[in-house]
Structure 1
């Protein structure tokens, strides 16, 4: 301001400054600057032309007789709105644009704005710290020390993140480029979608359990903040917003320097009280500023409990509300910490979840459209609804047609069963009677025709590990006995290290396998042949068929082909010489009808 005064004094020979008593404006509100370089001084004193008419001035800015018209300053006298610089559309630095003023907290000298981040193209919530009006009785007439302390608090809380509080994105300190002169600082946070507290309770009080669920998330944020030595400042109704999923969140940061953890507890109690009763129990001025009704009090100055204003409020929420507000009666304690309040809310929400199958106790609030249990008084009367009657007639007609179709089908079946086809029945002579066939054993020397099973795949079966040499197991079904697959060489025989190792053979479809042939060069190997329901079945899910000890060369294992199977497990339970077994080829034969 002193720089402007010196500059004006230097130009008094061209444009003498009007006296305050002549203009009706205080000199401190007249940020007159030098004329632009494109407008000569002589031209500014000329009479206005039709192309450039002189702008209309308010009555208080009209020149008086004490100041000649030709001695008026050429600079435009800014209005109070221009001096403040925080109207809708104003910019903070070159990044944020103010869009809508949400509210204010005069105790903190703060304004709450919905703004736009022009870089990331997203909405943000901005808390502005305004310069307070000059007050000679104050040690800090402009609030500079107050704003500095709040900015320091904001910087300390920069690392704090919680789902119950908007995340701090940016802090603008005093003197930052692009910040208006009357703004002492600002905090930029994520924008919290949803509704304000006043909008939430405008249509009526919130159901008790929904109110407890809403405050529970903010109480959790306050609990964690207090554990880190921080405070939220949730004792102001315009700092809190209700998200679309029903959670209360702190939307605007920078609380007053005098706010303590106890004020946060009172704010949580006030938020719960307001959701239950539609009345704000703390500051009357804050209630009026937020568009809320102040809470009723008794002649003695005590708050009326939520259950007195709204019968049906659960006792635990009624007691918790009054205890957090410091209004607990005799025999009831006071809730001193956010952690205690949060624990009680968690219990209330959990109890409500356990009783979801039962109709809720009527607490005076209407049911929401998405509630399972609806109030009968609020259900629409659809008895005379034309659309409902039309749908009912169509449904009955379709049902009648379906019944007729079913009855007709049953009539045809019954008639066929008892009435026959209308022709005389055919009676076979005794000689034509066909005797019942019985299964006779095959004659000696004759056997069932067999054919090799094609398309056999193999994989290592090892329930305890990755299997032995899985890359070479397909050699046992390649048709060449010279190519072999071998197990690992173990230091001790089975089952010292593992119960066994196996080969799972799989077919394209279940086959009536009648014979298994195993080519091996390690005699003494004991193999259990098992059928498996699938190729990835466990050992317990397989069914043993037979057990065989391999001989040197070819070992033939007869199988029962009565039950077709799609997977056959060769489970090696005893290794050959040197604790190792080797298999050259396996083949299967199936029965042919």
Structure 2
């Protein structure tokens, strides 16, 4: 398994690496991480080792750079930022340490292969390529929801585990990176998965340039004018809708969608073949070809018509994808296509502005504790929404992770004051190792033991996304909301506490809700 962050082996002509601070097999870093095997070096000169966390007895990947200090600042800062985002399609970051003579990042070990290695055998079929693109876009949506940028999306940082999990590794942002370049890189991932060639987008990605070392990625096929050949021109059998989506993402003249919109659309396409109800007229398309029925995202005209694309995209995806925006005007016929061409007998109407997506105001918050008779842990719930991540509500300290085997769990109940389209919920915690889930409901029983029991029973019927089990970060990001559902009441439900030096306890520092 190549755990290399850059997606490239070091150039064979690279100068010798300095030996001061060089690691050795069997060495234990920070009195915790034992180095077992040197895997490879990446194109940035970092060393990647397979290691073992001798305390938790789990395999880890250790990415070292020496010397440390100023030369490792960007690597460490990116690792710290990445550790705050927990998502099933992001590699978990466990630790980041600077020892001056060397610095290293400890992250999750993934048994499997990188996308670069997988496609080296042969290009992927459209279903597998779509699934991988969907996972990468979903990971980026979680990163972008925090305001951060990944900045290092390419076939070497997309990893596929032996059990089929797709994860994105090794964020490496700098001033030239943007969320838009991250999204366009998903087009590069799709292109590479379908053809085995890297399209070298307008902002080429580090470690993926043609001709670099023995592990170079083949350049894309181009015509005499240098124009990029579409996947369908390189390989037969690529569906038209996937071909169009890929090329639109790579086209600098067409504004790309946001990562959450792209993630929602690719997730909609990523369904088993037996459940596939899509036709090739195309889900996410930016323009229609002659003779085809335009998709709801198509602009009138050819592929290169870019004017108004971003506005049409935001409006047309209302209710179809993830409901991140809403249309005004209650007097419109609900059956009317919002982007259909106006009839000859009626003047064209300008589209109403899309509702802004941003933080939603939490109107009320309380602690849910159905198994307590004393109910003495209910104070300070308002601290989870006060904007101060250094202060929050905390549980008592228990003798076991399961609340001393006396409770099924505890939670924070949130009232948004009315129904809203919700995009994501982020929960900041005081430490790692908790197990929790996000639930939703429509009832508001009284804040009593019986009322809390009824609330938990009702809300457990609607889980948002997947639960986090003994997670390795201090932020949980839930983004599995139904695009066609309005939410008012949410419940962050803790089922297992992490250990500390006194027992088992957790603080919920801050909860933020994004939506419109």
Q: Scaled by the length of structure 1, what TM-score is found? A: 0.39
TM-score by length of 2: 0.44
Please identify which structure carries the higher helix content. 1
Quick check: which has more Rg, 1 or 2?
1
